[in-house]
Amino acid sequence: MAPGTERHRVDPRAARARVLRRGITARVCLWVVAIGVSGGSVAAPESERADREACQSGPAEAAVVACRRVLEHGPTDVEARLAMADALTRLGRHQEAVDVLRHGLDVSPRDGRLQRRLQLAESNLREQKSIEARNALAQAPSARPEVTLQLERVRCTSLAGEQALRACEKALQLAPDDASLHRAKGDALLAVERSGPAMLAYRESLRLDPTHRAAAQGLERAQSKQKETLGECRGTSGESALKACDRARIAGSPDEAAIQVRRGELLLELGRPTQAEQAFEAALKLDPANAQASAKLAALRQPKEPVSSVATLPAPKPEGAAPAVAQQVRPQPPQMPPKADAPRRYSNVPAVVGVTH
């Protein structure tokens, strides 16, 4: 053995021991890692379950936080989104509820529950804005015109029907050159099926702001509705046609005289001559050369011939004439039908079937 060889020789037992220790250490490390991973996978579902329970039934503030965590992991979870909107509504945060539901419709555009809940949330938001504007009006008497305009603007753009129309009129008294208010007035008029005045409102909005896209779209809808209403006014009869004519009337328009003539005709058909006369007179004021209105009015005012109510008596007979004697008709005895000749028979001859004696 060469000198120094003993110092570098490896003991087989020691080598096997080192390998064994390394293997045990590796197994222990893998076991620890496996325990950590399995523990995390168990903890994660428990946390998600707790968030879901808090989202559905927890207090409003906690529910909002929990629902937000649930939606971070599953944006398409409709139940969590609806629960979050409910919690925000309870907190009076209606704008956030609307935003959450709109985002849900972006993800699930055909979900009927989200659509219905969004309509309710938007209604709550409009009511909240109306209340806030009313409170601002009560708290700021020095700025009454501005606050009144703000309040009526909110009502004009958020309400519907006659209420919205009245609010738009009040707002336009304070801001007559506001194109958006004229457009909102057109929307309110179109909602109550007054397509003629709606066209005027949209045109005024476009006059003030030619780039107002919503007003241009509203004008197209109003023109289409006006065409349909005029067709009903001219092509049908009865009360429905009369109401259609009233809806189609546009003050100062070229068609107003013709519509008034048609109203007069319908009123005559309905047996209301006094109102018909007023309609023909209105048509002549708008168009004095309207021959149809003149003829209808003249025929209506033409005096009627009185009808005699005394019955015509027969002419008296001259004196000395003999009175007519009624001829008496004697009753005739009833005539008996002639008897048919019966075959002769002899009593002493027996009757035989089929033989005539």
If asked whether residues 150 and 203 sit together in one domain, one would say yes
CA distance 294 to 354: 96
**Per the structure, how many domains does the chain have?**
3
Contact call for residues 229 and 262 (beta carbons, < 8 A): no
Any residues with CB less than 8 A from the CB of 171 and at least 6 apart, and which? 149, 152, 153, 155, 156, 178, 181
Of 123, 153, 176, the position where a domain reaches its end is 123
Residue 183's CB: how many other CB atoms inside 10 A? 27
Of 123, 156, 187, the position where a domain reaches its end is 123
Contact call for residues 185 and 165 (beta carbons, < 8 A): yes
Grouping H, G, I as helix, E, B as strand and the rest as coil, residue 333 is coil
Q: Is residue 311 part of a domain?
A: no
Q: Is residue 323 part of a domain?
A: no
If asked whether residues 113 and 177 sit together in one domain, one would say no
Of 68, 90, 123, the position where a domain reaches its end is 123
List alpha helices for 58-77, DSSP H: 60-73
Amino acid, single-letter form, for residue 327? Q
If asked whether residues 160 and 215 sit together in one domain, one would say yes
If asked whether residues 268 and 295 sit together in one domain, one would say yes
If asked whether residues 187 and 147 sit together in one domain, one would say yes
What CATH number has the domain bearing residue 273? 1.20.58
Beta strand residue intervals within the chain, DSSP E: none
Q: Is residue 74 part of a domain?
A: yes
Q: Is residue 42 part of a domain?
A: no
If asked whether residues 163 and 87 sit together in one domain, one would say no
What CATH number has the domain bearing residue 185? 1.25.40.10
**Domain assignment of residue 179, given as a range:** 140-231
If asked whether residues 113 and 166 sit together in one domain, one would say no
The pLDDT profile of the chain, 357 residues, written as one tens digit per residue, is 445 445 555 566 666 666 566 656 656 555 544 544 444 444 557 888 888 888 888 888 988 998 999 888 888 888 989 999 999 999 888 889 989 998 888 888 888 888 888 888 888 887 787 777 666 656 655 456 777 888 888 888 888 778 888 999 999 998 999 999 999 999 999 888 888 889 889 999 999 999 999 999 999 998 898 888 888 888 888 898 888 888 888 776 767 888 889 999 999 888 998 998 898 888 888 888 888 888 888 888 887 655 454 445 455 555 555 555 445 556 555 555 555 555 555 445 555 555 454
Q: Is residue 177 part of a domain?
A: yes
Q: Is residue 31 part of a domain?
A: no
Q: Is residue 27 part of a domain?
A: no
Q: Is residue 66 part of a domain?
A: yes
If asked whether residues 145 and 222 sit together in one domain, one would say yes
